Amino acid sequence: MALPYTHHYDLSFSALNLKKFDSSHLQPICCLRCNSSVSSSPFTEKQSLQRYQRDQWVYNNNNQQWPSLSCGDEAASCSVPADSDSIRLNDITLQLPELRKLLQVLKHKRESCGGQVPKNGLGDVFLVGTGPGDPDLLTLKAVKVIQKADLLLYDRLVSNAVLDLVGPDARLLYVGKTAGYHSRTQEEIHELLLSFAEAGATVVRLKGGDPLVFGRGGEEMDFLQQQGIQVKVIPGITAASGISAELGIPLTHRGIANSVRFLTGHSRKGGTDPLFVAENAADPDSTLVVYMGLSTLPSLAQKLIHHGLPPDTPATAVERGTTPQQRMVFAELKDLADKIKTAELVSPTLIIIGKVVALSPFWPQSLTEASRLVEV
């Protein structure tokens, strides 16, 4: 059943919700201070210098003076005011002139193409999964679509190596989200997709992993289809598959794990205890994969053990899996949260819990444990 969306957000860019924001206090991007102490990341971290340079076209109207990368780190983050809502509104306001201009260019392109555009004049929207980070894991279809796009809206967890594949004439726009900072609300993303599709553009929505696995791709697809926009989904290798393969962990294995379950560590309303499914998930014959679960792992581990999962169940946590910056820790379930804290793993980190983890060549007792499991 379709969700009851209402078209309340006019992204002809004349009705952005900026009434409470005083544009006289706009901060130019060149005022942001580069912080070279931030470690290199394969992804687009919030307020990173790399993000602003990649999206430079959308700030051109403001005659920005772009700082160089001499601060020592291409992925360095920039110091910004603590009010994340003001940052977001400031960013959107700076982008508006060029977004309006691009809309007009694309509309003119559509009108001048004659019969080369669909009869209804609408463009296509592609929801493209880019996998866990390694560009070699992209599908051929994804690469083709990425290279022919007019506009690409990309998330935080689309790796820099994937973004390097974008065609020279395409425009990139960051719409990523991280804890405490959403560069665009979900409703604003919907309307951006709709506005440019209505202008006849080929719009690509780039998402890390698979767009329909904890990626909110279903919401975007449903919204656009209700507005008459054709949406095509190009699947990506979800983190569970890509990272488990990287570590040599079979998510299922005859006689050891007869099923696999994907969980999100986030609750819809926030908080530290979204894991109401722990009772059903505590199955020693299943593999449990937790996305976005760093902050809630201590609670999850306790609940799983309380509901019958053995405390010595093998488990692993993998930060930035499949990228050159990959880091991982292995431990029994009861010790995993402490190991993660000691290693100071950061988001994105995937957690895999189950007996199959002991089959990995990286498991400390891999040969002995694997032999014992197979015998059992």
Residues involved in catalysis: 155, 177, 292
Whether the Cβ atoms of residue 8 and residue 188 lie closer than 8 Å to each other: no
Q: How far apart are CA 29 and CA 27, in angstroms?
A: 6
Q: How far apart are CA 130 and CA 236, in angstroms?
A: 5
Tell which phi-psi region holds residue 260, choosing left (phi > 0), alpha (psi between -120 and 50) or beta: beta
Q: Which of 165, 158, 164, 162 is nearest to 215 (CA)?
A: 158
DSSP label at residue 332: E
To the nearest 10 degrees (0 to 180), the angle between helices 333-343 and 297-306 is 170
Q: Is 148 helix (H, G, I), strand (E, B) or coil?
A: helix
Q: Is the dihedral of CA 288, 41, 64, 33 positive or negative?
A: positive
Whether the Cβ atoms of residue 267 and residue 160 lie closer than 8 Å to each other: no
